[in-house]
Structure 1
Amino acid sequence: MTGPTARDLMTPDVVTVPPETPVMAMARLLSDRGISAVPVVDPAGVVLGIVTEADLIRRLAGEEDKPSSWFGALFSDPAAQAERFARTHGVTAKDLMTEKVVSVTPDTTAAHIAHMMEEQKIRRVVVQDGDKLCGIVSRADLLRALVAPPHQEVELSDERIRRAVMASMKNQPWTDTFYTMVEVKEGKVTFHGFRRSDAVQKALRVLAENIPGVKSVEDDTQPMPIFIYGAA
């Protein structure tokens, strides 16, 4: 089971605006609808860009921008200055919008979307099927993936759970399967042996809790003795 996808999480009824939409109209639209962004589309419905509440706030703040001094202008990038001026003084959606829109397909997993948002430092992605706009997934939508109940209860044997925990441990560079043993009884995972640090103790609990079928986790490990730790 791969978990929820963009299709499961997205807001499907997306409010869009044409490129000629005035700034004040977009601000009123976001306020009235309680949304934080609006895609800009052409007459065929193709996404051209997106205007966010941050863009509108930047536009408002730009009204108090002061001209750069002649000395500061010597070290500034004219192209960057021109782009900022257009975005902070523009009067329509096409002036303010961010043209580089990060998009995903309806089948993209929530985990991959979260990774994209974290990596690219964005708050939302557009869901597209080809050129067709299907919806938007925001950070708030991703939170629903964390709290949503599982589609079905996973029942695995204790031995399968134990093997899954061990396999997961072997994939992590901070674990030590030689000094840390795993016992599973009726879905309860217990770690025995030694640990190198309290951080490892916490990480082992999290690792086990992410294994399907695990009902609880108990840590019975002890701090690694100095004579063992020094020889490891």
Structure 2
Amino acid sequence: MTSLRARDLMTADVVTVPPETPFIAVARLLADRGISAVPVVDAEGKVRGIVTEADLIRRLAGEVDRPTSWLASLFGNQARDAERYARTHGVTAADIMTESVVSVDPDQLASSVAMLMEQRGIRRVLVTQEGRLKGIVSRADLLRALVAPSHQEGDLSDDRIRKAVLAAMKKEPWADTFYTLVDVKDGVVEFHGFSRSAAVQRGLRVLAENVPGVKGVVDSTQPMPMYLYASA
């Protein structure tokens, strides 16, 4: 997954709606297609926003809003309340859509896309170029990328794999390249020497498994003796 980019993962054939689409038509579209969101795109192909299930539920909930009391209106935020009213009582996609769309460039790395989705707590990102929609990357697309076979397997020699593992270890503060030795034979990484804990052993296994070309990992390390802790 390390070399995959948004363009490799995205669904290019995306269902979209124009801004003037009635909200009830958007709701039917989502229900008929079994999708949870639809981008709103204008006549020039520019992304204006996105209508999600949450936006539609908010619109439906707005129909039962209670009138704001006179006293509450004195201390309320008029701009915020007006915007909320428009989104909960609007009749078109443009009225109820979420305008702050999270988007990525087609060349953005898959790992970066995954991190963005995790940080924002969202299920999808739009792939855009100069404001125009190119596709959508969902969590399901990222999962498919994780289980897809790597095209790089077998491309690296044992020596290059060993160097890659050591380079990855040097980037991690918990990995010890002094007391933990690395050997590679026929694509199988074997760790020798000492490790500080079971957690470190597990981390090393995962680290090696993420190096392209690695076919297996053998942990032959031993617990670090107490006298080495004193000198480490």
- Give the TM-score of the pair, scaled to structure 2: 0.88
* 1:40/1:155 CA distance change after superposition, 3 Å: closer
Bigger Cα displacement from structure 2, 121-130 vs 37-46: 121-130
Over the matched positions of the two proteins, sequence identity in percent amounts to 69
Asked whether the equivalents of residues 2 and 111 of structure 2 are also in contact (C-alpha less than 8 Å), the reply is no
User: CA–CA distance in 1 between the matches of 2:140 and 2:92?
Assistant: 28
Opposite residue 92 of structure 1, the aligned amino acid is T
Stretches of 4+ moved more than 3 A in 1? 61-82
User: CA–CA distance in 1 between the matches of 2:221 and 2:68?
Assistant: 62
Opposite residue 24 of structure 1, the aligned amino acid is I
1:90, distance to aligned residue in structure 2 (A): 2.2
> Residue by residue, what CA displacement relative to the aligned partner does 1:6-27 show, whole Å, maximum 9, x if unpaired?
2222221222112121221101
Match of 1:224 in 2: 224
User: CA–CA distance in 2 between the matches of 1:231 and 1:60?
Assistant: 67
User: CA–CA distance in 1 between the matches of 2:116 and 2:155?
Assistant: 32
1:125-164 mapped onto 2 (5 Å cutoff): 125-164=125-164
Match of 1:13 in 2: 13
User: CA–CA distance in 2 between the matches of 1:192 and 1:153?
Assistant: 24
Opposite residue 147 of structure 2, the aligned amino acid is V
For structure 2, the residue ranges without an aligned partner over 5 or more in a row are none
Bigger Cα displacement from structure 2, 178-187 vs 150-159: 150-159
Match of 1:89 in 2: 89
1:180, distance to aligned residue in structure 2 (A): 0.9
Opposite residue 191 of structure 2, the aligned amino acid is F
Alignment RMSD, CA only? 2.4
Opposite residue 80 of structure 1, the aligned amino acid is R
Opposite residue 200 of structure 1, the aligned amino acid is V
Secondary structure of the 1:205 match is: helix
* 1:194/1:153 CA distance change after superposition, 3 Å: closer
Opposite residue 185 of structure 1, the aligned amino acid is K
Asked whether the equivalents of residues 153 and 214 of structure 2 are also in contact (C-alpha less than 8 Å), the reply is no
Asked whether the equivalents of residues 59 and 90 of structure 2 are also in contact (C-alpha less than 8 Å), the reply is yes
User: CA–CA distance in 1 between the matches of 2:199 and 2:76?
Assistant: 46
User: Quick check: 1:112 aligned with 2:107?
Assistant: no
Match of 1:190 in 2: 190
Match of 1:121 in 2: 121
User: CA–CA distance in 2 between the matches of 1:230 and 1:69?
Assistant: 70
Match of 2:49 in 1: 49
Q: How many pairs are equivalent?
A: 232
Bigger Cα displacement from structure 2, 50-59 vs 100-109: 100-109
Match of 2:4 in 1: 4
Secondary structure of the 1:3 match is: coil
1:204, distance to aligned residue in structure 2 (A): 0.4
Match of 2:211 in 1: 211
* 1:211/1:78 CA distance change after superposition, 3 Å: same
User: CA–CA distance in 2 between the matches of 1:201 and 1:127?
Assistant: 38
Bigger Cα displacement from structure 2, 190-199 vs 101-110: 101-110
- Give the TM-score of the pair, scaled to structure 1: 0.88
Match of 2:179 in 1: 179
User: Quick check: 1:201 aligned with 2:201?
Assistant: yes
